[in-house]
Amino acid sequence: MGRPADGGGQGRFSCRVGAESEGRRIDAFLAECMAGASRGYVQSLIESGAVTVDGAAAALKSRPVREGETVEANIPPPVPALVEAEDLPLRIVFEDDDILVVDKDRGMVVHPAPGSASGTLVNAVLFHCGDRLSSINGVMRPGIVHRIDKDTSGLLVVAKSDAAHRSLSAALAAHEVTRRYEAIVYSNFAEDEGTVDAPIGRDPGNRLRHAALKAGRAAVTHYRVVERFGDFTRLSLSLETGRTHQIRVHMAHIKHPLLGDPLYGPKKNAFGLRGQMLHAGVLGFRHPATGSYIEFSSPPPECFLSVLARLRGDERRR
């Protein structure tokens, strides 16, 4: 991917193209560089003439980028939100003038999408913060720098200003954000730790899924065994990259799908779970204003702990 450059003035995002991004579509490249931005939002910026390459307007969203080019996006001022603020439970771990760190509940969608227009984290954050949110991701995803899946619980950072958003996006792009997860997966491991280095792309046979594909984008997940239960294993995982469904895809790829994951694992499970046993338990980064490293932790939710208790009980009875 490219390297986010100096953001310049208010409302401007700049990213330099690296060798590994040579030939990628400009909309895909910029969406990744602006971590968390949707492809559709970036395409709308290109169509409005707000995206330039080395100072010249990018006319086509399919235009390939070249190593050494600088791609800039002039982010328009925020417009009235299309998403309604809702007074929903919101577990705030940390807050100041620049960022908000929240502990998302399992089952909550991060931002509105078809079929999930309300009850999302964005609805809750809008109620809490009002218009004090970054506008970089548009009116549907204000402040959203990165995401976790609906049934994944745990920590997320929300940007309250465009400057904070640019700083956090740059840190994500440079792999400078600490993200550690806890998971319960099927089967035992012969080794105590390992790494899955397998590119990920859209599954050509199922548009809802992603898969480990040679033609996909680079993806690296490190894992360490925490507890063994014979037929199941508790893992600690850390991410070098942040691809869609990365942990779920990588664990399924090495034949250890997440317990409860109906998309990448067995359709039914003995625990009657609806959704994967995955928790974003540690999040660390340099504060966008002070530059000091800060780190937050969150214990797994009750449903995760109850499954662990049952597995430990089953082990004792063996």
95-116 tens-digit pLDDT: 999 999 999 999 999 988 766 7
Architecture field, domain 78-174: 2-Layer Sandwich (3.30)
Of 15-24, 112-121, 181-190, 219-228, least confident by mean pLDDT is 112-121
Question: What are the residue boundaries of the structural domains of the chain, listed by start?
Answer: 3-74, 78-174, 178-280+303-317
pLDDT in tens, 34-70: 765 777 788 888 988 889 999 888 878 899 999 999 9
SS3 77: coil
Catalytic positions are 149
Counting DSSP H helices and E strands in the chain, the numbers are: 6, 16
CA distance 282 to 288: 18
Architecture field, domain 178-280+303-317: 2-Layer Sandwich (3.30)
In angstroms, how far is the first alpha carbon of the chain from the final one? Answer: 49
Q: Do domains 78-174 and 178-280+303-317 have the same CATH topology?
A: yes
pLDDT in tens, 151-178: 999 999 999 999 999 999 999 988 999 9
Q: Where are the alpha helices (DSSP H) in the chain?
A: 26-33, 39-47, 121-129, 162-173, 246-253, 302-317
Q: How far is CA 99 from the centre of its chain?
A: 16
- Which residues have CB under 8 Å from 55's CB, separation 6+? none
CA distance 301 to 91: 12
CA distance 209 to 80: 34
Domain 3-74 sits in which CATH superfamily?
RNA-binding S4 domain (3.10.290.10)
